[in-house]
Structure 1
Amino acid sequence: MKKLMRKKKYSQIVYLFWIYAGGIIFVLGIFFVVIDAVYQSNIYMDAKNQTTTFCTSIQSAVESELNKMSSIATNVVYSDVIRDSVGLNQTEGELGSISKKSSNFPMLQIYAALNAAQQNINSASQVNVYTLNQKCIGTGLSDSMSDVRLLDKSWYEKALSLNGKKYFTAPEKIRFSQSSYKFMEDHMYITLVRLFNNGTGKKVGFVEVIQDCERLFSLVDRLKKQNPNTSIFIFNDRGETVYPYNGSGENYTKNYNIIKNNNMEPLISKWVRTEYYIKSLATYQVIDSYNWSILVYENRQSIYYPLHKYRVVFVSAGFITVLMVIVLCYMLSRKITRPLRKIKDATRQITITSVLDEENEHINEIDSNIIEIHQLCEAIRKMYEQLKDSSREVLLSRSEETRAKLSATQSLINPHFLYNCLTHMSIMAEEEMNEEIIQLCNSLCDYFRYISSTKEMKVPLEEELVCIQKYIDCMKIRYGEDLTYICDISDAVKEVPIPKLILQPIVENAFKHGFNKKPPWVLKISAFKRRKNWRIEIEDNGGMLSDEQKEKLLKEFRETKKNAFYNMEIGGMGLKNTYLRMKLLYGEKAMFTIVNHYPGRTKFILGGPIETVKEKNVL
């Protein structure tokens, strides 16, 4: 049984390489397939919406232009002036035959009526009226009145057979006689022709409205120019290709059959086989008023060209990523398995120097089928059991050691300050300053009551300043009105815990060294919060500290070791005591500096991190 269990364990290199690398490759593959499917669906929907939008826009634009042509023809057909003038003096011969009789009828009235009919609507390229006695009156590109032969017109027989219904010709070139726009003769035109009668129902002539294809299909031309990969075709009611208009309509006959062969419905996009059996996405629409058909399609390759570019980029990036993952997993697996046993041996020698979570009394045994990790977990578990009992003892001993050091440094302050006060009281007694002695005694009592009232090494900043106030009261008895004391404390730091009696040596130093000049003397203490630290500034107007003295003093402080207080005499600490206590409590986060570049002023700056409740309870 044990042999079977051992066979299930395998090398970390194999585990990382096949499990992690294989998993990452699988996830990348799934990600690629999903993203590719979503992207392909979005491209299809965009192409479908585009062809549908093209069909709708083209239908609206072309139908609008055809309506304008139809309106011009209608205005002419129902113009009383034109019908009466054209029907005047018509020959009784066969319709369309050339009359040998010279007929004088009011051509000027017809010409004026044509201009009026065309100006009511945006102008067509040309509007002509043909009479049955072979006369033509036209306005537009060619303003003329001439003799014509109706039988020579390509539309004559068809328009005649429709008996007044609209007939649209296929795109063709038209030569305009007496035209000043010769450059437009190369353009293609579509013509609308209608037979019209006089008031009694007698056939009297034809109206011909000619429109330039560039104007008729202006929107289609713009869409085609902006989307060169999109094919656009428009067919009239006879299935003739009217767009593109610059080629032979016979070349596009197969495109009209696409609509019929695929049973296409208006505005329903379908995949169809176009010319040369190319698969394309096509959409079809009908201009109902004229029974014209619109066909818009784009081949599959053009639609999915962005997808092809995306696939090339993504596959290339994915291939490179897979190679990097494989190489990285292999390198990491080799790197991890090499030092596993060394890490296991090293953990047995680790000593806990930080506080462990008291709620976590036991570490759970981790079962792993990887040999190296299994051995490492066993070593860590045994190490934890060995260090669990000793960790609290180590922390407690270090805490007691720090407390002892702080108590020793604090005790060095009291005799020195008491000595100065007693000396001062002796001098006052000789001068019989009884009231001042009483005030001094009261202040001293309050001061020493503050020292002996608690064993805590830290107190709220506000309490420390009350103690300083007592000290200042003692000094004001000596200096009187020559001494001014300013205290500026921010509410944000009043309850912040700071080392007890940390300010007294600095204030005492100001009286001892800073106020050697003539009065008045000013002592200012400011306390405030800066980021996550408390900061206290003690400033005097003595200005007696030179740059050399400042650097020498700070250098001496920095070279002081934390156990230096064992070799110091009582009363000999002063500023060094303050510096040492700050270092003992806050380590590298302690702030102790001197600023003397202000004229006539010296400023001592103390600071440290604002401790949480948990941190405060350590000492």
Structure 2
Amino acid sequence: MTARRRPAYHFQAVKSVRATLFSSYLLLILVSIPLLTVFSYFYTANALKAQAIGALKDLSATVVGALDAELFKMNAVSVNIGSSELVRQLLQEHAALSGQADRTWQYLHTARLAEVMQTIVGAYKPVPQVNFYDLAGTMIGAGVYSQAAPLAAESLPWLKGLDLDSGTKQYSLPHVDPLLEKTFPLYEKRSYISLCRTLYDEYRRVMGILEVKQFTDTIFRSMPSQSARVLVFDGAGVRLYPFESDRPDPAYAILRGRPDGQLLTLGGRELAVAASSGQSGWRVVVSQQQRRLLAPVREFATILVLFGLALLAAAVLLASRLAVRITVPLRRLHDSVRGLDWNAVSLAAPAHPAADLGELEELEQAFRDMRGKLKTSMDEALQARAHELQATMLALQAQMDPHFVYNMLATIGIMAEEGMVREIAESVEHLTHLLRYISSGKSSVVTLGEELEYARRYLACLKVRFRDGLFFDIQVPPELLEVRVPKLIVQPIIENAMKYAFTQAPPWHLSIRGQAGEGRWTLRIHDDGPGFAPGRLAELEAQIAARLGSIPEPTLAISGLGLLNISSRLRLFYGEEAVYRIGNEPEGGATVLIGGSFEPKGELLGSGR
């Protein structure tokens, strides 16, 4: 009797040792490889991120340099005209002639002044227009409009607000010049930015205001349009590029107190660097989407994850081979001591382990020396195995009702005794689909068709058990099968009905009906049980109403799913469009109505598709 039971014990011992060795190797691998992977990721990711941020800073410096180059051209024209002695002499003569009645002489003098300013501007015309506004309300233009006009500086809206008394150069906001539009239709709706400064004579008396105009698109033509987004603000916080309003932009608040070159975050999705224009004092912000800027980091992470998975697969295979390599000699060693009696004091025959694993000779000697403690060691091993089985059982219980699995296995066993091969195959297929469905953690969002297929297979398993005691019917329009829904919202309702609704004698009936209308889908689950108890129904309705009025934090743990949990997840996924109602029917039975909009309003944890 004892001799026949030893082979079974021998098999379990070898299997336990192999599992222990494999688990030890696997644990070491699963700890070391992820740590190495995480370290490599953060080290390389930080380097790539620093490189990307450095490129963003270089781009901002390039943009500011190009902007200053355009502004420098305008300032050079303004300085050359303002510092010209001939221009100053002509302006003084113009001021002296402004009160005379001889218009011919004034016209010739004005033409002479415009010609001189045009000559200073140059033949290449770096700016389209230069204007001088005297104190008498006359404007003398050179460029597109090269003549005089009765136009005072204080009447121009784009010059209002400029501190022209400071004696320094001032830049206007982007504006449209009606006079130039009327003179040259090609410039219709063209936008300009003006550089203005006050001109003084040798006695520091104000002679007038010199204005140099440049096209706005010319000033900002170096701004990148695809690689990055550029914002330009003046000292008052008005956004000059792209220009929309003469009011301060709220986005400028992030620049206050921030030095140039500091990394900024705009809207939580963009990384930005600010730089100041040396010519104008404008703040230039160059930003890029974090997703685009950090694309090399994500690509590296993807490669690293794939490499890590491949390395893990290879390491698991190696651990398995090592475990087998060691346990095979152990099996031989166990065979050599199979005849050892627990109460005997004689030594067993020497074992012959593999030549390349000579360390096992010491293990054989340890068996000889420790045979008195063998029973205690096996008790400890069995206790460890019991703990392992208990942990496994807890993990399985967290995924599916153990009573359901037990009943299904018992039913399959009965069908096996009766030779019901086809029914067994169908039941195993259904059960496999159920386990695969609930163990898949890649997404908590599925289509309604997938959810109903899971419910149908669950009911099919119950049908195998109860046979003619259970009848179910599922009718859902085809257009609803592709609607995205939270995972596991139908089967828990069916399970709840099986536990609490079908307390009377069979047969039991359960129906599922789908309907679409007014931008929503609904699913009605009805049973013919006694219905909800009045007190329990009122309590559930109050709790569901409270949950539908807030945004809870449900989880996808199977053990936590229930009527209240489903209402929370529908509320999180569909927002105010969520439908969840329970009640009793006048003809008997309980009904649970769930639904939502065709497009979800929110997201669930792990809902990436």
Larger radius of gyration: 1
Q: TM-score, normalising length from structure 2?
A: 0.47
